[in-house]
A and B are shown apart, each in its own frame.
Chain A
Amino acid sequence: MTTVPVTGQFGPPLFSVLSKKGVVVDAKWPTPKRRRLGSTGYLAVVGALFLCVAQVSSARGDSASCIAKVSAYVAELDALLSKERNWITPYDDLNERYFPFRDCEADALLDAIRRSSFIRSISYGSRTKEYLIHFSSDEVLVGFGYLVSEKKSTFSTALWVHK
């Protein structure tokens, strides 16, 4: 191993001073007097409940469409990995067509990718809350990252196993 001294190349560690979050003290909602809900009020409550249900349904729908997209990607990727060993461009094109993935529930996403015949590794970073997923044939390695909390993919790659 050759270690290259880098004395002088880097300055001292950078420190950042974090500002405290502003906290509102002793704030109170104005509550002049209690009122019973009128018919308009009940309608507003029902409307709000409807909107909440619609939003939950929409989120589930987004996840379902995302999983469908991942499943389609895995199917195409498997077909490609089983036949293409000399050109990286088709993998490039495939990734361009499918990425990014958004709004997938992580467990469902992992179920979808585990159906691949070429799944090589799934690792999880607890600090970054990110899954790193790799598929591989004897010649080509394909991978991407997925942030669990933000529900979105971070990068995608395709490389030769042996250049």
Chain B
Amino acid sequence: MSEKIFLTYTNATAVPYQGAVLGHHIVLNYIDSNGDHHTLQGVPEHRFDHNIDKLVASGREEIFSDGANNRDSPFQRLRAWTDRDREVSLNQPHTMVAEGDDLSARWARMQNFADEVNSIGYEYRPISQNSNSFAGAALQRAGLYGPGTEFPERFDPLATV
């Protein structure tokens, strides 16, 4: 069975009280030769119940914080989590990144990157250092590219919490 690495997307944030989607959250997916479905994603340590709260917090971090303090993000740290499941659906919107007989080494490199992120403790920044830049950097670590040979977003390894 051919192995696959691909990206899926969920709605990350929307216009308060109106609902138009402002951003998507990228999840890294890997289907191994056993058919097992692995996922890897970066998430903020703290989440907000309402879009308006999230937007206010985003403004505090991205506009009013000068970036010198790496512990002042309302979202706190960026955490990387892996998960596994047996329900695989390729019917949802996705971007295929790689197909091959054995992609386990690539996936292992992405997981190593996730371990590094967790051990170092990076501040979550809703625009400049978020789940999508985590996905981009994980792909880069594995020697892979997103759509159009570009990484989704760059990850700044210098900004640590």
- A residues near B, CB below 8 A? 1-4, 6, 9-10, 13-14, 85-89, 92, 121, 123, 125, 127-128, 132, 134, 139, 141, 143, 145, 155, 157-160, 162-163
Contacts and interface: CB of A to CB of B under 8 A. Distances in A.
Contacts of A88: 43-47, 79
A89 B147 CA distance: 33
A163 B34 CA distance: 29
Interface stretch (B65-73, B81-89, B153-161): B81-89
B62 interface: no
Contacts of A87: 45-46
B12 A163 contact: yes
A10 B48 contact: no
Nearest to B145: A4
B45 A132 contact: no
A163 B25 contact: yes
B95 A163 contact: no
Given A163-B10, A163-B12, A1 B94 contact: yes
Interface residues of B, number: 42
A123 B45 contact: no
Contacts of B82: 155, 157
Interface in B32-80: 34-36, 41, 43-49, 76, 79
Interface of B: 10-12, 25, 34-36, 41, 43-49, 76, 79, 81-87, 93-102, 131, 143-149
Contacts of A128: 34, 36
A3 B100 contact: no
Contacts of B96: 1-4
B34 A127 contact: yes
A143 B10 CA distance: 20
B43 A163 contact: yes
B114 to A, nearest CB: 11
A143 B97 CA distance: 26
A159 to B, nearest CB: 5
Which are the 5 A-B pairs with shortest beta-carbon distances?
Answer: A13-B101, A10-B100, A123-B86, A3-B96, A157-B83
A6 B101 CA distance: 13
Contacts of A127: 34-35
Given A14-B101, A123-B85, 17 more contacts: A1-B96, A2-B147, A4-B147, A4-B148, A6-B98, A6-B99, A88-B46, A89-B76, A128-B34, A134-B85, A141-B83, A155-B83, A155-B84, A159-B41, A159-B81, A162-B10, A163-B44
A162 B85 CA distance: 18
Contacts of A3: 95-96
